[in-house]
Structure 1
Amino acid sequence: MFELRLLCPEDRVEPVSDALEALEALSVSVEDADEGTGAERALFGEPGLPPPASGWSRSRVVALFAHEAAAREAAALLAPQDFFAGCAVRAIAPVAEQDWVRLTQSQFEPVPITPAFWIVPTWHDVPAEATHAIRLDPGLAFGTGTHPTTRMCLRWIAAHPPAGQRVLDYGCGSGILAIGAALHGAAGVDAVDIDGAAVQSTRDNAAANGVQLMAGLPDRAQGLYGTVLANILATPLKVLAPLLCGHVAPGGALVLAGVLERQTEELQAVYAPWLALEVADAEDGWVLLTARRD
Structure 2
Amino acid sequence: MQSARWVELVLRVPEARVETVSDALQALDALSVTVEDADADTEAEQALFGEPGLPPPAAGWRHSRVAALFDTPAQAREAAALLQVQDFFADSVIEGLRPVADTDWVRLTQSQFEPVPITADFWIVPSWHEPPAGAHTVIRLDPGLAFGTGTHPTTRMCLRWIATHGMAGRRVLDYGCGSGILAIAAAKFGASAVDAVDIDPAAVAATQANAAANAVNVRAGLPEAVNATYDVVLANILATPLKVLAPLLCAQVASTGHLVLAGILERQADELRAAYAPWVTLQVHDAVDGWILMTAQRT
1:61 maps to 66
1:238 maps to 243
2:287 maps to 282
1:88 maps to 93
2:160 maps to 155
Is 1:37 the counterpart of 2:42? The answer is yes
Match of 1:135 among 131, 140, 156: 140
Code of the residue aligned with 1:216 in structure 2: it is: G
1:180 maps to 185
Q: Contact 1:169–1:190 at 8 Å: present in 2 too?
A: yes
**TM-score after normalising by structure 2:** 0.97
What is the alpha-carbon distance in structure 2 between the residues aligned to residue 208 and residue 68 of structure 1?
44
Is 1:221 the counterpart of 2:226? The answer is yes
2:170 maps to 165
Code of the residue aligned with 1:113 in structure 2: it is: I
Q: CA deviation at 1:218?
A: 0.3
Code of the residue aligned with 1:18 in structure 2: it is: D
- Secondary structure in 2 matching 1:263: helix
- Secondary structure in 2 matching 1:21: helix
**TM-score after normalising by structure 1:** 0.99
What is the alpha-carbon distance in structure 1 between the residues aligned to residue 166 and residue 185 of structure 2?
9
Is 1:103 the counterpart of 2:103? The answer is no
Deviations 1:136-190 (A, max 9, x none): 0000000000100000000000011211011000000000000000000000000
Code of the residue aligned with 2:182 in structure 1: it is: L
Instruction: List alignment gaps of at least 5 residues for structure 1.
Output: none
Deviations 1:28-82 (A, max 9, x none): 1110011000010100111110011111111100111112111111111101111
What is the alpha-carbon distance in structure 2 between the residues aligned to residue 229 and residue 45 of structure 1?
26
Is 1:125 the counterpart of 2:91? The answer is no
2:80 maps to 75
Deviations 1:208-247 (A, max 9, x none): 0000010000012121100000000111101100000000
- Secondary structure in 1 matching 2:101: coil
What is the alpha-carbon distance in structure 1 between the residues aligned to residue 287 and residue 219 of structure 2?
30
What is the alpha-carbon distance in structure 1 between the residues aligned to residue 213 and residue 29 of structure 2?
38
What is the alpha-carbon distance in structure 2 between the residues aligned to residue 220 and residue 25 of structure 1?
45
What is the alpha-carbon distance in structure 2 between the residues aligned to residue 67 and residue 236 of structure 1?
48
Match of 1:27 among 8, 32, 38: 32
What is the alpha-carbon distance in structure 2 between the residues aligned to residue 96 and residue 138 of structure 1?
24
Report the number of matched residues.
294
User: Aligned residues: percent identity?
Assistant: 70
Q: CA deviation at 1:23?
A: 1.1
What is the alpha-carbon distance in structure 2 between the residues aligned to residue 267 and residue 70 of structure 1?
55
Q: Contact 1:162–1:226 at 8 Å: present in 2 too?
A: no
Match of 2:205 among 196, 200, 203: 200
Runs of 4+ in 1 over 3 A off after TM superposition: none
The farther-off stretch of 21-30 and 129-138 is 21-30
Q: Contact 1:190–1:220 at 8 Å: present in 2 too?
A: no
RMSD over aligned CA atoms reads 0.6
What is the alpha-carbon distance in structure 2 between the residues aligned to residue 213 and residue 144 of structure 1?
17
What is the alpha-carbon distance in structure 2 between the residues aligned to residue 187 and residue 128 of structure 1?
28
1:250 maps to 255
Q: Contact 1:178–1:191 at 8 Å: present in 2 too?
A: yes
2:265 maps to 260
Q: CA deviation at 1:105?
A: 0.3
2:3 maps to none
Code of the residue aligned with 2:111 in structure 1: it is: S
1:18 maps to 23
- Secondary structure in 2 matching 1:287: strand
What is the alpha-carbon distance in structure 2 between the residues aligned to residue 245 and residue 104 of structure 1?
40
What is the alpha-carbon distance in structure 1 between the residues aligned to residue 143 and residue 166 of structure 2?
25
Is 1:293 the counterpart of 2:268? The answer is no
